[in-house]
């Protein structure tokens, strides 16, 4: 029986709806939860290391508790995220060093395609300080800190290729899940300054306390939103500086095929990055604020995005990275909730890397196109095509096609 006032199933933004009134009851008490399931079928149909098809999937549960509403603390909130992963991806079959299926790449594990029954990737406490500052401490996700409106979401809702989800030049000092402390200051609704210090080592499947001696990263970023000719847009820029770590020196002197185990190391590395997004046409009236981090085009229309990054040449394989593209929602008349995107990326790398024989291509390039069909607000099927020239010398450019199902419960 559908509770009074709840939409019919085809119109619900969650497949389970209000769960017989339990969801709204929990929210009134200060507890909210989001649960999603993503399944990806992907195949290398030309080039790459080998032609193959693989299936993989993820479950993602986020629980947020308002501690003041629960009468457990005078303020603040607690967030817990549990993730699981099963199956295999074509990341190894594609011959590319950057993942062609980011959703199946994270959370990180010792072995590629290793299954995860469940792991806690977020467990943190956020405390508001006054009206403009928030401080977060604990285990948090740090790999996607530069959100843009049309390219994000961890491979769940928009692009699948990692180069359109985060900046390649910033990936070395920014792990997926780690322990840290972050502060965000919003002096104006359209301006946010963020800073954090966190462990450089990834803690996707550990508590993170065993990695506190493996180095630290300092991150700073400014994010502003604006309107150009009445159309919303945004710009962000920031830096990452990692220290007290062990980063292999990659300056091009290394012989192809060496594993880097006896190579000299540096204790620090850095990267700088910037991102931009801008609507160029909209059908909807733009609200006062656009949430670029929600991995969904908020307005029906068309927009552009770009990311650029530069990194330490001695230690970071991705010396310079660029990704550009367009995306939007409601391309086809009558399909207002369908989303789409087209992107191109280019990354310049060091001349030789220890993990490749007979060396790597000096420039990695790729193109991705996706179209996501909204079966209901809570269920999406996405078709995806990638052309990837990203990997070792002698590896043919790969053509990868895929189909993704995403369900929100």
- Report the alpha-carbon angle 151-195-101, nearest 5: 30
In terms of residue numbers, what domain contains 108?
A: 9-408
State the pLDDT confidence band at 254, using cuts at 50, 70 and 90: very low
pLDDT in tens, 169-217: 998 899 999 999 999 999 999 999 999 999 999 999 999 998 899 999 9
pLDDT surpassing 80 at residue 263: no
pLDDT in tens, 303-333: 999 999 999 988 888 889 999 999 999 989 8
Answer whether residue 2 is part of any domain. Answer: no
pTM of this structure: 0.90
H or E element at residue 28 = helix 22-29
Give the chain's mean pLDDT.
90
CB atoms within 10 A of CB 268: 16
116-129/133-141 β-pairing: antiparallel
Answer whether residue 233 is part of any domain. Answer: yes
Query: Mean pLDDT over residues 50-71, rounded?
Result: 95
Is the Cβ–Cβ distance between 320 and 183 less than 8 Å?
Answer: no
Answer whether residue 28 is part of any domain. Answer: yes
Answer whether residue 356 is part of any domain. Answer: yes
Answer whether residue 1 is part of any domain. Answer: no
Query: Mean pLDDT over residues 116-131, rounded?
Result: 96
Answer whether residue 365 is part of any domain. Answer: yes
231-243/216-228 β-pairing: antiparallel
pLDDT at 354: 54
Which residue would you say has higher pLDDT here, 176 or 112?
176
Helix (H, G, I), strand (E, B) or coil at 10: helix
CATH number at residue 167: 2.40.160.180
Answer whether residue 3 is part of any domain. Answer: no
Q: What percent of the chain has pLDDT over 70?
A: 92
pLDDT surpassing 90 at residue 67: yes
Answer whether residue 92 is part of any domain. Answer: yes
Name 52's bridge partners: 44
pLDDT in tens, 351-371: 555 555 567 788 899 999 999
Peptide bond into 107 cis (omega under 30): yes
State the pLDDT confidence band at 5, using cuts at 50, 70 and 90: low
pLDDT at 1: 32
pLDDT at 327: 97
- Say what the alpha-carbon torsion angle 135, 141, 144, 147 is, to the nearest 10 degrees: -40
Q: What percent of the chain has pLDDT over 90?
A: 71
pLDDT at 7: 60
For the chain, what is the domain count? 1
By CB atoms closer than 10 A (0-12, 13-18, 19+), residue 94 is buried
pLDDT at 143: 81
DSSP state of 69: T
> What are the structure tokens assigned to 322, written together?
């660029």
Is the Cβ–Cβ distance between 74 and 107 less than 8 Å?
Answer: no
């Amino acid at each position: 029986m559908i509770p009074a006032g709840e939409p019919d199933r085809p119109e619900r933004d969650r497949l389970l709806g209000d769960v017989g009134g339990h969801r709204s009851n929990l929210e009134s008490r200060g507890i909210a939860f989001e649960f999603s399931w993503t399944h990806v079928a992907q195949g290398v149909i030309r080039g790459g290391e080998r032609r193959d098809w693989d299936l993989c999937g993820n479950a993602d549960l986020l629980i947020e508790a308002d501690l003041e509403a629960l009468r457990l603390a005078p303020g603040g909130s607690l967030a817990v995220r549990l993730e699981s992963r099963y199956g295999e991806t074509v990341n190894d079959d594609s011959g590319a060093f950057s993942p062609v299926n980011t959703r199946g790449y994270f959370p990180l594990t010792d072995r590629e395609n290793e299954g995860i029954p469940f792991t806690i990737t977020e467990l943190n406490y956020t405390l508001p300080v006054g009206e403009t500052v928030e401080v977060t401490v604990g285990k948090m996700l740090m790999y996607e800190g530069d959100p843009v409106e049309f390219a994000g979401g961890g491979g769940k809702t928009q692009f699948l290729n990692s180069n359109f989800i985060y900046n390649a030049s910033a990936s070395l000092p920014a792990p997926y899940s780690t322990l840290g402390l972050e502060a965000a200051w919003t002096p104006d609704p359209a301006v946010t300054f963020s800073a954090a210090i966190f462990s450089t080592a990834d803690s996707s499947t550990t508590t993170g306390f065993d990695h506190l001696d493996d180095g630290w990263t300092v991150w700073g970023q400014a994010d502003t939103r604006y309107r150009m000719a009445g159309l919303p847009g945004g710009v962000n820029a920031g830096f990452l500086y990692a220290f007290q770590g062990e980063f292999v020196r990659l300056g091009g002197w290394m012989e192809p095929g060496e594993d880097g185990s006896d190579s000299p190391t540096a204790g620090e590395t850095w990267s700088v990055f910037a991102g931009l997004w801008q609507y160029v046409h909209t059908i909807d009236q733009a609200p006062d604020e656009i949430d670029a981090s929600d991995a969904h085009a908020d307005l029906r229309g068309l927009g552009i995005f770009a990311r650029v990054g530069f990194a330490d040449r001695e230690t970071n394989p991705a010396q310079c990275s660029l990704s550009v593209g367009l995306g939007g929602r409601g391309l086809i008349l009558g399909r207002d909730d369908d989303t789409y995107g087209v992107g191109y990326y280019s990354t310049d790398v060091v001349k030789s890397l220890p993990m490749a024989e007979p060396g790597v291509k000096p420039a990695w390039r790729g193109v991705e196109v996706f179209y996501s069909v909204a079966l209901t607000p809570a269920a999406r099927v996405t078709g995806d095509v990638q052309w990837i020239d990203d990997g070792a010398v002698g590896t043919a450019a790969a053509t990868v096609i895929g189909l993704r199902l995403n369900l929100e419960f």
